[in-house]
Amino acid sequence: MGAPLFVKGRRPALLTPLGEECAEKAFAIVAQIDALRSLAGADDRAGRVTLGFVPTTLQTILPVVLDRLRVDFPALRVAVRSGLSRELSNMVAGREVDFAYLSSPIDPNALVRLHEVGAEPLVLVTSQHTPKGGVMELLRQNPYIAFSRSTWLGAQIAGHLAQIGHMGEPEIELDSIDAIEGLVARGFGVSVVPQRLLAPPLETTLNCFPLFRPAPVRRMMLATPRHCCRQTLLKCLSGIARG
C-alpha cells in the first residue's frame, strides 16, 4: 500500500486509522466475493460454516443449533469452536469463525455486527435447604461462588454486586456455570448466575432471588462479520434461541 497500516512495536498488532479503513474496504470486497460464491451454493445452504459458542452455551444453545442445522441444512458441513466472548469476537472479526454466540460485549469490536438473540435474567441462587432471607443477608452469611471475573459475564455480575454494596472476595471462582449451579445446589455457597436460554428453569433445583427489580440481564448475541452475506443462515441462527 506504500503507507503504514500497523502501529510499529505493538503486540498484538494494532491497525493505524488508515489500516482500519483499508481493512474495512477489504472485508467488503471479500464479502462480495463470498456473496457471488453463495449464489452458486444454493443461497448458503451448502458448503461449510464455522460456529463459535461461549462455554455457558455448550449444553443449552449448541445442541439445539446442531439439531436444527442437521434438519434444515442437510448439505451444510458444520464446524464448532468454543472460547470466551472476547476471543470469539476477535475470531469473527478475523473471519476465522462465521457466526458466534456470545455475551453482549463490554468493548464491542468495530469489525463485528451483533444481533440480539435473547436476554437472560441474573439472579442470586442458593440451595433449596439454605434459610431464605434478603439478598445482602444471604451474601453476608454464605460463602460466595463467583463466575470468572476475567469474562464479560463475570465482570458484569461483579459490577451489579458492587452496586448493591457487596465488595467481598469470592471463596470459589470458576468458569463453568454448570459447576457453580451444582455446588450451590449441594450447599457449598451462593452465587449470581443467568437463567440461560433453552436451559431448565433454575427454580427446579435452586432458590432464586432477584438482585434488583427488574432483574438485570445478560444479553446474548449472535456475532457476524460486518458484511455477512449468508442471510439464510443468519435468519435461522438468530431465531433459534427464541424458539
**Percentage of the residues of the chain whose pLDDT score is greater than 70:** 95
What pLDDT is stored for residue 35 in this prediction?
A: 64
DSSP 169-211: PPSEEES-HHHHHHHHHTTS-BEEEE--TTSPPGGGTEEEEES
Predicted confidence at residue 148, as pLDDT, reads 95
Confidence of residue 61 (pLDDT cuts 50, 70, 90): very high
Report, as an integer, the average pLDDT of 9-19: 84
42 pLDDT tier (thresholds 50, 70, 90): very low
Does the pLDDT of residue 141 top 80, yes or no? yes
Give me the mean pLDDT over the 114-130 stretch. 95
The position carrying cell 436451559 is 199
Split at pLDDT 50, 70, 90, the class of 149 is very high
Specify the CATH superfamily of domain 42-118+219-240.
Periplasmic binding protein-like II (3.40.190.10)
DSSP H helix total and E strand total for the chain: 7, 9
Q: Is the pLDDT of residue 73 over 80?
A: yes
The alpha carbon of residue 217 and the mean position of all alpha carbons in its chain are separated, in whole angstroms, by: 13
Euclidean distance between CA atoms 127 and 86, whole angstroms: 32
CB distance 34 to 42 below 8 Å: no
pLDDT at 188 over 70: yes
- pTM of model > 0.85: no
Q: Is the pLDDT of residue 40 over 90?
A: no
The C-alpha atoms of residue 80 and residue 100 are separated, in whole angstroms, by 9
Tens of pLDDT, residue by residue over 197-235, are: 999 999 999 999 998 888 899 999 999 998 888 888 999
Higher pLDDT, 14 or 190: 190
Domain 120-218: CATH class, spelled out: alpha beta
β-sheet bridge partners, residue 77: 48
